[in-house]
Each structure stands twice: as C-alpha cells, then as structure tokens.
C-alpha cells in the first residue's frame, strides 16, 4: 500500500521490499501464474493498470490525496484502499483470486479483510517489525507509533502463514507477537545472479570517474537514521585521522536518496561530511538501478551496511554477488546475508573507531581483500530468487489446504 514496485529503490519508501516483490512476481509469472499487485496511486498521471512484466499487472488504487501523504498518515486511508481492492475483485467471477500475499503491516490489514471476504489464504511478510525497530533506535530516530504495533499484532493473529526472512525473524514473530510456530515459515530472499555478478572493477571505476588505485568504500541504500550512513562517514574521518596520507586515495561513495526521517534533514549527511572535514573524499550518487547499480558495487573495495535494523539486507547480497565484500552490523538478517570472516565482517557496535579499524584491516590489505572477494561470490550464489519463489508457491499451496478441506466439507 505504501510503495509501488514501479518506484526506484533507494529513495522515498522504496527499498528492498520493492525488489522482493518485483523479483518474485516476475518469476511467478514465468511459471504461468498471473500476478496482480495493488498499490496506492501517488499521481493522477498514473494509469489505473500498468504492466510490470508479462503476466504481472500493477493496479493503482486511489486512496487519499495523490501527493503529500506520509506513511504515518496512511492508516487513515486503509478503508479507501481496501474498498479499491474489493471493487477490482468484484468485476470478476467469484474465485478469481486464489491467494493474497501482503507485504508490510499496512497491506497486511487489507489482506486480512479481503481474504476473509473471498475465502482464500492470506500469506503475510512483515519485512520489518515495529517492536524490533523500537528496541534498537538510531540516535534522533523516532519510535514506531503504537498504531503500527497494534496493527502488526492483528495481522500476525489473522494470517494463515507468516513469511520470515531468517530464523531470527521467525523467532521474533513468535516471541514478540505470539505467532503460532506452525504458521511461521522461513524463506530467505534471493539475489539476481544474472545481473549481480563479478565484472571489471577498473572499467566500473572509469565509468564513475574514480582512479584505478583509489580505496573505495560504498554505502548503498536509503539515507535515513535507521540505515546509519553516518557511521561510514564518521569511520572515514577516523581512518584519515590515523593515516593522513590516505586522503589522496580514499573515496566514500554514497548511493541513495533521503527517506523516512532522513527527509526532515535531506542535507544532513553532506553537512556531517563538511563538519568532519571529509567532504573532499565523500561523493554522492542518486539511487542506481540495473547495470548501473552493479557497476557501483564493482567499483567499490568494500560495501558498508551499518544499519540499526535490517530484516535481511539485500544490498549485502547484491554486493557480494558482484565480488565485493561487505562490512555489516550484526543485526536482523545480516548475519545470514554475510558470512562473518568469509564473505565479509560483522560488527557488534556502531562505534566509528571500530568500523574504521575493520574497514582498514580489509580495504588496505590486498591479500585479505582478494580472499574475502572470492568467498563473497560463493556465499551469494547460495541465494536465488528462483528458490525464494518456489518456496513461496509451496507456502501458498500449504496455506490453501485447510480452506479447501473446509469447502469440501461444506459441499458435502
């Protein structure tokens, strides 16, 4: 409901969830399954229906004003959005939809209501959980509101199946939200191994105007306190304080746009770089997609993922698939996405001094960097969107069985 798969990940509310939906929906369509994605219309110029890929339609539902409506205001539009979804189904013969998969708690509310009316299974993926986020807030970040916590509890209670990205997230659904263990299934996200693969780092750097011998540290994602891009900027300042000669080679590549609370101070990261005296080594790029994003990963020696909370961390997988090791916070699903000591390093704190040491220990040691790079590719190869899609389809079928049995009993 709050973000469209047609939007560019890395800015606004578009991120890993958008990638997840696009990748799984297109693969389902390749298997002969028709997929319709309902999302809130954010512009009067959007067509009622758009084709994302053959067999995948995106339906733009009018629910509230097109522009100027923040995610925190969307609960007030749940009724309007649900009405739009129900009207679309009403144009078809009964039984047109076989299952509903909702993503994030707002859509979970709509999925709960629509599946109750249609008599089909409701599968829900939370992507992030309010209680988990509130337990590990970044400095200056606002806690998730109580209305979201209540909404998540309702969706968890009413879903036929809950899809967790990792065993840790599955445990959080059970322990923090009281989910029934038999209704929770763990399905890791994947990575597009055709797009994200090793390439020529020198060519990638040349395309971005970076020197072949530069030490390139990259952050890719939305610029908001939760994602903690400031940790990388502060760590770079620490690295230069310890080794001033590094200034001639160091490049900190920030790829992404303001999002969430980051929209309140969109220039905060640039201002921090100036304050710390590292503005000359920090380079900002807008959100990248497709081959351009893969080239950004290949241009980097290391990719930093210092998030305070991350349900999985698709950026970490994409970078490793390109042969770029990752230094990541040991939170959420990142210990699954990154093999500590093999494909990258996991950090147990957000202390810039500790991050500076870790980044230097890898980026400034060519042999260590090469070792992690080779293993990063092997680690990422364990994850694919085809495996994710197959597991989701099996989950839909499993969730449908009790409903099919009940319908047969009623018929008899």
> What is 58-79 written as a DSSP string?
EEEE--S-SSS--GGGGGGGHH
Rounded Cα–Cα distance for residues 109 and 106 (Å): 5
Same domain, 321 and 305: yes
Same domain, 127 and 223: no
- Residue 244: the pLDDT is 97
Residue 13 has pLDDT above 80, yes or no: no
| Mean pLDDT of the region 102-109 | 97
Same domain, 289 and 391: no
Assess if residue 4 is contained within a domain.
no
Assess if residue 74 is contained within a domain.
yes
CA angle 201, 202, 204 (to 5 degrees): 60
The verdict on whether residue 354 carries a ligand-binding annotation is no
- Residue 11: the pLDDT is 62
Query: What are the tens digits of pLDDT across the range 226-241?
Result: 899 999 999 999 999 9
Among candidate residues 310, 346, 128, the one with its CA nearest the CA of residue 220:
310
The verdict on whether residue 264 carries a ligand-binding annotation is no
- Residue 132: the pLDDT is 94
Confidence of residue 137 (pLDDT cuts 50, 70, 90): confident
Same domain, 239 and 312: yes
Contact 219, 235 (CB under 8 A): no
Q: What separation in angstroms does the CA of 28 have from each of 247, 392, 403?
A: 48, 9, 22
Assess if residue 316 is contained within a domain.
yes
The verdict on whether residue 308 carries a ligand-binding annotation is no
| Mean pLDDT of the region 394-400 | 96
Same domain, 140 and 238: no
Q: What separation in angstroms does the CA of 165 have from each of 183, 184, 203, 339, 401?
A: 14, 10, 34, 16, 23
Same domain, 214 and 334: yes
Range with lowest mean pLDDT among 181-185, 220-224, 231-235, 389-393 = 220-224
Number of compact structural domains in the chain: 2
Within 31-164, residue ranges assigned H as helices are: 78-90, 104-118, 130-134, 146-158
The verdict on whether residue 262 carries a ligand-binding annotation is no
Rounded Cα–Cα distance for residues 156 and 164 (Å): 12
The verdict on whether residue 166 carries a ligand-binding annotation is no
Query: What are the tens digits of pLDDT across the range 171-185?
Result: 999 999 999 999 999
The verdict on whether residue 11 carries a ligand-binding annotation is no
The verdict on whether residue 17 carries a ligand-binding annotation is yes
Q: What separation in angstroms does the CA of 69 have from each of 30, 42, 77, 79, 352?
A: 35, 9, 10, 15, 35
Residue 406 has pLDDT above 70, yes or no: no
- Residue 405: the pLDDT is 64
Assess if residue 269 is contained within a domain.
yes
The verdict on whether residue 97 carries a ligand-binding annotation is no
Same domain, 371 and 258: yes
| Mean pLDDT of the region 205-223 | 96
* SS3 call for 3: coil
Same domain, 334 and 404: no
Residue 3 has pLDDT above 90, yes or no: no
The verdict on whether residue 18 carries a ligand-binding annotation is yes
- Residue 409: the pLDDT is 61
Assess if residue 6 is contained within a domain.
no
| Mean pLDDT of the region 39-50 | 93
Assess if residue 195 is contained within a domain.
no
Assess if residue 10 is contained within a domain.
no
Give residues with Cβ within 8 angstroms of 400, minimum separation 6: 98, 99, 120, 121
Assess if residue 106 is contained within a domain.
yes
The verdict on whether residue 128 carries a ligand-binding annotation is yes
Query: What are the tens digits of pLDDT across the range 159-173?
Result: 999 999 999 999 999
Same domain, 364 and 397: no
What is the CATH classification number for the domain harbouring 146?
A: 3.40.50.2000
Q: DSSP letter at 244?
A: G
Same domain, 175 and 290: no
Range of 374's domain? 201-383
Give residues with Cβ within 8 angstroms of 140, minimum separation 6: 225, 261
Same domain, 71 and 164: yes
Same domain, 208 and 176: no
Residue 142 has pLDDT above 90, yes or no: no
Confidence of residue 85 (pLDDT cuts 50, 70, 90): very high
Rounded Cα–Cα distance for residues 24 and 55 (Å): 12
Torsion of CA 140, 152, 76, 135, to 10 degrees: -10
């Amino acid at each position: 409901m709050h973000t469209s798969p047609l939007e560019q990940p890395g800015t606004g509310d578009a991120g890993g969830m958008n990638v997840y939906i696009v990748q799984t929906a297109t693969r389902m369509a390749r298997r002969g399954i028709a997929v319709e994605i309902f999302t809130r219309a954010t512009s009067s110029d959007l067509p009622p229906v758009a084709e994302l890929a053959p067999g995948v339609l995106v339906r733009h539902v009018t629910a509230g004003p097109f522009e100027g409506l923040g995610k925190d205001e969307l609960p007030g539009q749940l009724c309007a959005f649900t009405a739009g979804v129900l009207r679309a189904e009403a144009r078809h013969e009964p039984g047109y939809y076989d299952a509903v998969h909702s993503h994030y708690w707002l859509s979970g509310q709509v999925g709960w209501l629509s599946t109750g009316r249609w008599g089909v299974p409701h599968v829900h993926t939370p992507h992030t959980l309010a209680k988990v986020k509130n337990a590990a807030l970044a400095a200056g970040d606002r806690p998730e509101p109580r209305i979201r916590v209540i909404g998540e509890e309702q969706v968890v209670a009413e879903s036929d199946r809950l899809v967790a990205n990792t065993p840790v997230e599955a445990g959080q659904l059970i322990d923090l939200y009281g989910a029934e263990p038999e209704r929770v299934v763990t399905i890791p996200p994947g990575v597009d191994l055709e797009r994200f693969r090793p390439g020529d780092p020198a060519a990638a750097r040349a395309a971005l105007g970076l020197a072949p011998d530069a030490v390139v540290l990259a952050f890719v994602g939305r610029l908001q306190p939760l994602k903690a891009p400031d940790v990388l900027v502060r760590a770079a300042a620490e690295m230069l304080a310890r080794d001033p000669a590094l200034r001639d080679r160091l490049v900190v590549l920030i790829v992404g746009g303001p999002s969430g609370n980051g929209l309140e101070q969109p220039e905060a990261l640039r201002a921090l770089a100036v304050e710390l005296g590292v503005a000359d080594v920090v380079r900002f790029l807008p959100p990248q997609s497709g081959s351009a994003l893969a080239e950004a990963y290949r241009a980097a020696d290391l990719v930093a993922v210092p998030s305070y909370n991350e349900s999985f961390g698709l950026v970490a997988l994409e970078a490793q698939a390109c042969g770029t090791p990752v230094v990541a916070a040991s939170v959420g699903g990142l210990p699954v996405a990154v093999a500590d000591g093999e494909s990258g390093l996991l950090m147990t704190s957000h202390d810039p001094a500790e991050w500076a040491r870790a980044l230097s220990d890898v980026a400034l040691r060519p042999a260590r960097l090469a070792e992690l790079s080779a293993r990063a590719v092997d680690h990422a190869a364990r994850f694919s969107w085809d495996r994710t899609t197959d597991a989701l389809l099996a989950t839909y079928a499993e969730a449908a069985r009790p409903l099919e049995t009940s319908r047969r009993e009623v018929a008899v």
